[in-house]
Amino acid sequence: MAKLADEVRDKMTTELAKFPGVATTNDRYLALAYSVRDRLLRRWVDSASAILAQRHRTVIYLSAEYLIGPQLGANLMALGIEDEARAAAKQLGTTLEVLVDHEEEPGLGNGGLGRLAACYMDSLATLDIAAVGHGLRYEFGIFDQDIRDGWQVERTDRWLRAGNPWEIRRYEIMHEVGFGGHTEHTVTGVRWIPERVVEGVPYDTPVAGYGTRTTNFLRLWSAVASEEFDLDAFQVGEYWRAVDAKIRSENLTKVLYPNDSSPAGKQLRLEQQYFFVSCALQDCIRLLLHGGANIRDLAEVLAIQLNDTHPTLAIPELMRLLMDLHGLSWDDAWTITRKAFAYTNHTLLPEALETWPLPLVARLLPRHLEIIYEINRRFLDEVRAKFPGDNARLARMSLIGESGDKQVRMANLATVASHHINGVAALHSRLLRETVLRDFAELWPERFTNVTNGVTPRRFVALANPRLGELITSAIGEGWQRDLEKLRGLENFATDAGFCEKWRAVKQANKAALAERFDFDPSALLDAQCKRIHEYKRQHLNLLHVIALWQRIRNGEDLGVPRTFVFAGKAAPAYWMAKLIIRLAAGVGEAIAGDPKARHQLRVLFVPDFSVKVAQRVYPAADLSEQISTAGLEASGTGNMKFTLNGALTIGTLDGANVEIREAVGADHFFLFGLTAEQVSAAKANYHPGRDLDAELGNALHLISDGAFSRGDRDMFAPLVNDLRERDPFLVCADFRAYSDCQRRVAELWQAPEKWVASSIINVARAGRFSSDRSISEYAKQIWNVAPLRVG
Ligand code: NBG
């Protein structure tokens, strides 16, 4: 193969039509990216032909979100050509760092759910499992976040503006997706005559495995109008009306709904969901038949995973395709469907369980509603037979909710049609069985399982934290990137003074690098809470503690431990309370910075526009990871794993995967506080947060109300303070004292640096099971029944 540097120089001419004198940084980035892509494509073609030749059972991952992060660095690492790329960059008169930094990431997800999908694509390829990830190619991803006067301001994310070298548009593939209209039932079957038709076209992005040739791909669907113009309208001179239909179709994949863990409930969102699953399934069937298989083999050839309920319409869509287009009977179609699908639930928050108004589904997808009704009729018969006379149970389990206006309940639909249903951490899977899906778990206990989330060590350790990666390799050798349990070998080094010193120096260097961007004291304890802003995640609990520390300083106490509190995360644009919490962080930061007595001991930093790229800078620098959600509400969390794997200690509640992290690293190496999920439910029965407030907490609330963090404005934070005093649905007040005391234990350990460093090493050494490779191996064995592919 030609030298990368030569290829890059060629690309400058053949792809970009530029020469060195006029080339911009973007050109240099694109030239390198195109050259890297060429190498990926060769591997991809080999993988694809191996899949076809071996008729390999393939995973079809359906997800409305993929937060894949910047691609250049990750791809260079997967291909093992970083040194070559460095030389190529040099030849272009720049550095690899500049080019990697230049890349704009595709923000096609909101948070953990979308990032999990991206980690899983990485692990699938690395474990040589044939897989295609289907999703939506949003023209605008998650909004960019600015902070102005302490408030979040949203800007559109024009991520495609400078070109996207990683994707390939497949011009030969197109699927039609209908909406609206009516159905016709005849003796030969059912026909759906949609009112309008949109075309779906795919853009593919290669996903390279690490240390293997297997390369899978993400296929993201984009909507285009099926008729360029409405010809009738065009002929009578109504140009605008003619173009209108086109614009309407293409709006379908314009923008990602910026809601995290709560549905938007908008028609366009439902259209997006149906659009991409219809494209995905039509495409799967096309490939299946092309490969010479019979449509009846679909569930043998494909294992389809629903990433939360967003792709659930795939169930009635597959039934429709099998019956109405391929002539199968209901029973045959249902048998195949039941064997094909599995469903992962990602939240227990009641407001987050997706339901769609029945009239909307009837209007938009009349055929699908008929199918849903029929699934429901047969399903309820089964329940009735097992639990005769239990009408309350029947009402709870029905796919159609009757409370107020009727709705279609997506979680129930996904559960009824899936051979496996899993939660994303042990506690969450248990609560899922005991609460939200209890009736279903009683009916089909064997279908319920757990797969605890994981994260890719390639991106989140090796790539994000090269200093740590090198130190780990120097101690235990290569191989941990593909087999993270190998980190165990680090445990012996926790008592090696020389190694501990190197470990400390790595953290220090990472903090110094972050401090260069954000100007803080790198010797202070870096205490970080980075995740979507949400009341249940309790960024305000953290802030109340910061205010309490500030008060202690004002009262003459010496904290002994200088701290920098880093906050980062986006709030859903319509989530007022979350935006107010961001404003509070800014206000607290400002007040402390203005206090000469406090500013050397405390600093509050809000890092704007949290993204994969920003995250890769923050995780390596953190000393303390804040995982302080109200117990029972965070399904898993994955940031908790990323911080741990970068050597941060955790302060956290017994929630989500924190429970398992604590088990893995050992109770002595985890700062635990707060009510358990059971205690939370019990406490809620008779909770009066405003009564007997803790003195420090009362004082902090008073300062907030008094305008100390809003430049004297006493109204700004009233909604937040009143809510905490009167309702406090997330038990911030109940957990405040325990949290604050636990933070004292953090400070004590920090003052014994050798112990802190040893604990940090032990955390990393014992966190190998939080690799997404472990999660994907579990899905492969327990749920998908797939084996690795042989490529080459
Ligand atoms: C989120 C949970 C997180 C979890 C991720 C990935 C949704 C609906 N759920 O706790 O809130 O880590 O999913 O499983 O976004």
Q: Which atom of ligand 1 is nearest to the CA of 424?
A: 14
Q: How far apart are CA 607 and CA 286, in angstroms?
A: 46
- The residue annotated as part of the active site, out of 433, 537, 570, 579, is 537
Whether the predicted pLDDT of 245 surpasses 80: no
Q: How far apart are CA 138 and CA 256, in angstroms?
A: 6
Whether the predicted pLDDT of 93 surpasses 70: yes
Tell me which residue of 410, 64, 463, 541 sits closest to 257, measured CA to CA: 64
Q: Which of 67, 312, 344, 346 to mutate to test the pocket of ligand 1 (most atoms within 8 A of CB)?
A: 346
Whether the predicted pLDDT of 238 surpasses 80: no
Q: Is 532 a catalytic residue?
A: yes
Tell me which residue of 605, 583, 577, 581 sits closest to 592, measured CA to CA: 605
| C-beta 535 within 6 A of ligand 1 | no
Tell me which residue of 782, 700, 692, 777 sits closest to 734, measured CA to CA: 692
- pLDDT band per the 50, 70, 90 thresholds, residue 789: confident
Ramachandran assignment for 708, one of left (phi > 0), alpha (psi -120 to 50 degrees), beta (any other): alpha
Span 7-28, pLDDT tens digits? 999 999 999 999 988 999 999 9
Q: How far apart are CA 153 and CA 147, in angstroms?
A: 6
- Within a 10 A sphere around the Cβ of 732, how many other Cβ atoms? 22
Which tokens in the block code for residue 337? 């469907």
Q: Sign of the CA dihedral 376, 377, 382, 384? A: positive
pLDDT value for 514: 98
SS3 478: coil
Q: Is 507 a catalytic residue?
A: no
Amino acid at 710: S
Cα 447 to ligand 1 centre (Å): 21
Percentage of the chain with pLDDT > 90?
A: 91
Q: Is 537 a catalytic residue?
A: yes
Which tokens in the block code for residue 52? 């076809």
Cα 444 to ligand 1 centre (Å): 24
Q: How far apart are CA 682 and CA 7, in angstroms?
A: 65
Span 543-562, pLDDT tens digits? 999 999 999 999 999 999 99
- pLDDT band per the 50, 70, 90 thresholds, residue 792: low
pLDDT value for 190: 96
Give the mean pLDDT of the chain. Answer: 95
| C-beta 261 within 6 A of ligand 1 | yes
| C-beta 532 within 6 A of ligand 1 | no
Chain-centroid distance of CA 45 in Å reads 28
| C-beta 63 within 6 A of ligand 1 | no
SS3 448: strand
Q: Which of 345, 347, 658, 779 to mutate to test the pocket of ligand 1 (most atoms within 8 A of CB)?
A: 347
Q: Sign of the CA dihedral 366, 372, 378, 380? A: negative
Cβ atoms of 448 and 429 within 8 Å: the answer is yes
- pLDDT band per the 50, 70, 90 thresholds, residue 644: very high
Cβ atoms of 355 and 401 within 8 Å: the answer is yes
Span 703-729, pLDDT tens digits? 999 999 999 999 999 999 999 999 999
Tell me which residue of 112, 93, 220, 114 sits closest to 160, measured CA to CA: 220
Residue that has been written with the tokens 């079957």 in this structure: 189
Whether the predicted pLDDT of 268 surpasses 80: yes
| C-beta 113 within 6 A of ligand 1 | yes
| C-beta 638 within 6 A of ligand 1 | yes
Q: Which atom of ligand 1 is nearest to the CA of 111?
A: 15
Which tokens in the block code for residue 349? 């928050």
- pLDDT band per the 50, 70, 90 thresholds, residue 600: very high
Mean pLDDT of 177-189: 95
Tell me which residue of 759, 701, 746 sits closest to 544, measured CA to CA: 701
Cβ-count burial 660-692 (b if 16+ within 10 Å, e if not)? bbbebbeeebbbbbbbebebbeeeeeeeebeee
Span 414-462, pLDDT tens digits? 999 999 999 999 999 999 999 999 999 999 999 999 999 999 999 999 9
| C-beta 636 within 6 A of ligand 1 | yes
DSSP 583-595: HHHHHHHHHHHT-
Mean pLDDT of 74-91: 97
- pLDDT band per the 50, 70, 90 thresholds, residue 282: very high
- pLDDT band per the 50, 70, 90 thresholds, residue 350: confident
Q: Which atom of ligand 1 is nearest to the CA of 428?
A: 10
Beta-bridge mates of residue 525: 563
- The residue annotated as part of the active site, out of 11, 37, 459, 532, is 532
- pLDDT band per the 50, 70, 90 thresholds, residue 235: low
Cβ atoms of 60 and 303 within 8 Å: the answer is yes
Percentage of the chain with pLDDT > 70?
A: 98
Cα 650 to ligand 1 centre (Å): 19
pLDDT value for 675: 98
Residue whose CA lies nearest to ligand 1 atom number 8: 261
Cβ atoms of 487 and 768 within 8 Å: the answer is yes
Span 650-661, pLDDT tens digits? 999 999 999 999
Q: Is 642 a catalytic residue?
A: yes
pLDDT value for 231: 56
Whether the predicted pLDDT of 790 surpasses 60: yes
Q: How far apart are CA 665 and CA 562, in angstroms?
A: 26
Whether the predicted pLDDT of 228 surpasses 60: no
Whether the predicted pLDDT of 243 surpasses 80: no
| C-beta 635 within 6 A of ligand 1 | yes
| C-beta 772 within 6 A of ligand 1 | no
DSSP 362-422: HHH-HHHHHHHHHHHHHHHHHHHHHSTT-HHHHHHH-SEE-SSS-EEEHHHHHHHH-SEEE
Residues whose CB falls within 8 Å of the CB of residue 25, separated by 6 or more in sequence, listed in order: 94, 98, 99, 102
Cα 424 to ligand 1 centre (Å): 8
Q: How far apart are CA 598 and CA 179, in angstroms?
A: 61
Q: Is 406 a catalytic residue?
A: no
Which H or E run includes 781? Answer: none
Chain-centroid distance of CA 514 in Å reads 24
Q: Is 613 a catalytic residue?
A: no
HSE (side-chain half, CA atoms, 13 Å) at 716:
20
Whether the predicted pLDDT of 511 surpasses 90: yes
SS3 787: coil
Span 122-148, pLDDT tens digits? 999 999 999 999 999 999 999 999 999
Which tokens in the block code for residue 602? 């405390």
| C-beta 114 within 6 A of ligand 1 | no
Q: How far apart are CA 690 and CA 703, in angstroms?
A: 16
Span 303-326, pLDDT tens digits? 999 999 999 999 999 999 999 999
- pLDDT band per the 50, 70, 90 thresholds, residue 779: very high
Cβ atoms of 130 and 790 within 8 Å: the answer is no
Where do runs of H (alpha helix) occur along 489-562?
Answer: 497-518, 539-554
Tell me which residue of 333, 399, 344, 416 sits closest to 64, measured CA to CA: 344
Chain-centroid distance of CA 198 in Å reads 28
| C-beta 425 within 6 A of ligand 1 | no
- The residue annotated as part of the active site, out of 253, 312, 355, 638, is 638
- The residue annotated as part of the active site, out of 9, 56, 269, 531, is 531
Beta-bridge mates of residue 255: 140
Q: How far apart are CA 765 and CA 769, in angstroms?
A: 10
Residue that has been written with the tokens 């993929």 in this structure: 66
Q: Which atom of ligand 1 is nearest to the CA of 656?
A: 10
